[in-house]
């Protein structure tokens, strides 16, 4: 089981940011990222996820990990990214692609022109083998996402201009 000792308390008087994680199938990486940023940030970020071609279900290994971290099971569902391009959907402050396929696709036009970045991770849902091998792949992805998200949470977002912020978010993954 993943330990979440890195939880960072957040001053609720401060602004909270909406962040959308995109991946093609929205069944594993983007789901993990949505749950991680929401549970680890102490209210600083509200995580969302979606895909260009959603699988229609959350991968059972991703579901298991998100529930272990305390993310509500009822929030777990595979969604199409069009859901977040509608005028009445939450306005995103950040959009991060977490798989190579989504990074190369033509994304919808997002309202408010959020800062974007690409954090590519191998697809743990594509790993073949025993359940133990598959769980290890999901754990590896979870650890990488956790490292990135913890760095994101620590960014002084309100002190950076848009260009610096975009670079800082991308640099989190590139380092």
Residue 107 annotated among the catalytic residues of the structure: yes
From the list 46, 55, 107, 160, the catalytic residue is: 107
From the list 19, 20, 23, 152, the catalytic residue is: 23
Q: Which of 31, 97, 23 is nearest to 64 (CA)?
A: 31
- Encoded tokens for 61: 């290994």
How far separated are the first and last CA of the chain, in Å rounded?
A: 26
Asked if residue 151 lies in contact with residue 11, where contact means CB atoms within 8 angstroms, the answer is: no
Question: Residue 50 is inside which H or E element, if any?
Answer: strand 45-50
Residue 82 annotated among the catalytic residues of the structure: no
Neighbours of 72 (CB within 10 A): 11
- Encoded tokens for 39: 């549970």
Residue 23 annotated among the catalytic residues of the structure: yes
From the list 32, 98, 99, 125, the catalytic residue is: 99
- Encoded tokens for 118: 């690409």
Asked if residue 65 lies in contact with residue 174, where contact means CB atoms within 8 angstroms, the answer is: no
Catalytic residue set: 23, 99, 107
């Amino acid at each position: 089981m993943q330990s979440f000792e890195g939880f960072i308390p957040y001053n609720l008087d401060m602004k909270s940011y909406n962040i959308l994680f995109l991946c093609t199938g929205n069944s594993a990486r983007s789901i993990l990222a949505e749950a991680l940023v929401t549970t680890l940030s102490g209210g600083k970020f509200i995580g969302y996820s979606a895909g260009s071609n959603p699988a229609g279900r959350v991968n059972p290994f991703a579901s298991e990990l998100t529930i272990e971290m305390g993310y509500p099971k009822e929030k777990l569902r595979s969604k199409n990214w069009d859901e977040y391009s509608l005028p009445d959907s939450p306005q995103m402050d950040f959009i991060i692609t977490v798989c190579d396929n989504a990074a190369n696709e033509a994304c919808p036009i997002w309202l408010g022109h959020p800062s974007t970045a690409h954090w590519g991770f191998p697809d743990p849902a594509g790993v073949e083998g025993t359940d133990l091998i598959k769980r290890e792949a999901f754990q590896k992805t979870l650890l990488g996402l956790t490292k990135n998200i913890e760095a994101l949470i620590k960014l002084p977002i309100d002190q950076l201009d848009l260009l610096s912020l975009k670079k800082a978010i991308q640099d989190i993954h590139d380092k």
